[in-house]
Amino acid sequence: MSPSTRRLGILTGGGDCPGLNAVIRAVAKTAILQYGIEVVGIEDGFQGLIEHRVRPLGLKDVSGILTRGGTILGSNNKCNPARYCTGRKPDGTPIWEDVTEKCLTTIARERLDGLIVIGGDGTMACAAPIAAAGINVIGVPKTIDNDLVGTEITFGFLTAVATATEALDRLHSTADSHHRVMVCEVMGRNAGWIALTAGVASGSDVILLPEIPFDLRRIADDIERRMRGPGFAIVVVAEGARPANGNQVVGRYDPTSPDPIRFGGIGNLVATEISDLTGIETRTTVLGHTQRGGAPIAADRILATNFGFHAMALLASGKRNRMVVRENNLFSDIDLFETVGKQRLVPVDHPLIAAARAIGTSFGDGAGSIVPKAIPTAVV
């Protein structure tokens, strides 16, 4: 063990997801029980680091949280210390400042020898300047979107898929009763992992991903064919999907956020077009944040525990500025800086897409069955 690590800070950044508490618990228990390291919880992500809002995390604090959704520490997806909104100019435009120094002051005052940051690509990007300033930062890959580079899976994703699959199953029976088309919008900004995986798991008829621009006329044709058979159809659409001749649909824009755009509304657009083109009664369901809430499923509890344990072992071993990853079902680590500014999208020749096409699933692009590429990329 590295004798230099006596006290560590832990924070959860970005959008929450199931399994965050399981990681916090695994880190704190491993730190205290195996290495005798003190743990300090930082509240509301980097906001707490800027404002020096921290609290000690003992064994009692992390007991009973394995199954709890959300994060006991709080999170924040509007706060990047290197580009922090400190107010508005008279014309309403935001004032941006680099407040990384405030984070370093909190770290010094708390005598932290290292930081464990649990988050997605945004959180790793926020942590990079702190690591560059000499603080040892260990990342744990979190996001329901499953789009972090270097790891075949992030925790939270499988629970989101389970939630979306259950919702799609429920839409099946009501679609059947009313002979309708049901369009379900799921999360996934630039990567369609949730739509693809929940779509296949639920036997959806049409799956629309950000990675495969779609053609509404082709979708209408596929749905009309399906109506002549079972008499109903299920369409799952990722929030970041777009027509080949159009743009992603922006649902909300917050100029004071360093990450200002949120997609939303493509489900309604697709449903309206299907109904106009086919004359078939169509309804939309937007799953939204239900996919991020609630208890983690067993697989995520296990993954989160493994990630937390490995992150703590990395820190204790003295390795610097790494992100723990899983590759080919084995845990290892990569350079934290390598993850910044990158996203792991769904390859259009992914084996699961090939399998779905082979069984007649439409991706709205008119392409038929393809030969899958051998990609060592797990989705479960």
> Which of 112, 130, 144, 171 forms a contact with ligand F6P (CB under 6 A)?
144
Catalytic residue among 145, 147, 222, 300: 145
292 in contact with ligand F6P (CB under 6 A): yes
Closer by beta carbon to ligand F6P, 22 or else 40? 22
CB of 44 to ligand F6P, least distance (A): 14
Distance CA(323)–CA(150), nearest Å, equals: 9
Closer by beta carbon to ligand F6P, 9 or else 14? 14
222 is catalytic: no
Binding mask 96-125 for ligand F6P (x = CB under 6 A): ------------------------x-----
| Count of residues interacting with ligand F6P (CB under 6 A) | 12
15 in contact with ligand F6P (CB under 6 A): yes
CB of 291 to ligand F6P, least distance (A): 7
262 in contact with ligand F6P (CB under 6 A): yes
CB of 334 to ligand F6P, least distance (A): 20
Closer by beta carbon to ligand F6P, 48 or else 210? 210
Asked whether 130 and 141 are in contact (CB, 8 A), the reply is: no
Closer by beta carbon to ligand F6P, 168 or else 187? 187
Binding mask 67-86 for ligand F6P (x = CB under 6 A): ----------x---------
Query: Order of strands across the sheet with 233-238?
Result: 206-208, 233-238, 181-186, 282-286
Binding mask 157-196 for ligand F6P (x = CB under 6 A): ------------------------------xxx-------
232 Rama sector, left if φ>0, alpha if ψ -120 to 50, beta otherwise = beta
CB of 186 to ligand F6P, least distance (A): 8
Tokens of 40: 């300090």
CB of 260 to ligand F6P, least distance (A): 10
CB of 152 to ligand F6P, least distance (A): 18
Long-range contacts of range 195-198, CB-CB < 8 Å, 24 or more positions apart?
195/236, 195/237, 195/238, 195/241, 196/346, 196/350, 196/352, 196/353, 196/356, 196/379, 197/161, 197/352, 197/379, 197/380, 198/161, 198/164, 198/165, 198/168, 198/236
> Which of 145, 211, 222, 333 forms a contact with ligand F6P (CB under 6 A)?
145
Residues shown for the chain: 380
Tokens of 365: 């692009």
Tokens of 139: 């990342």
Asked whether 310 and 331 are in contact (CB, 8 A), the reply is: yes
Binding mask 218-247 for ligand F6P (x = CB under 6 A): ---------------------x--------
CB of 120 to ligand F6P, least distance (A): 6
In one letter, which amino acid is 271? A
Q: Which residues are catalytic?
A: 145
Q: Catalog residues that contact ligand F6P under the rule CB under 6 A.
A: 15, 77, 120, 143-145, 187-189, 239, 262, 292
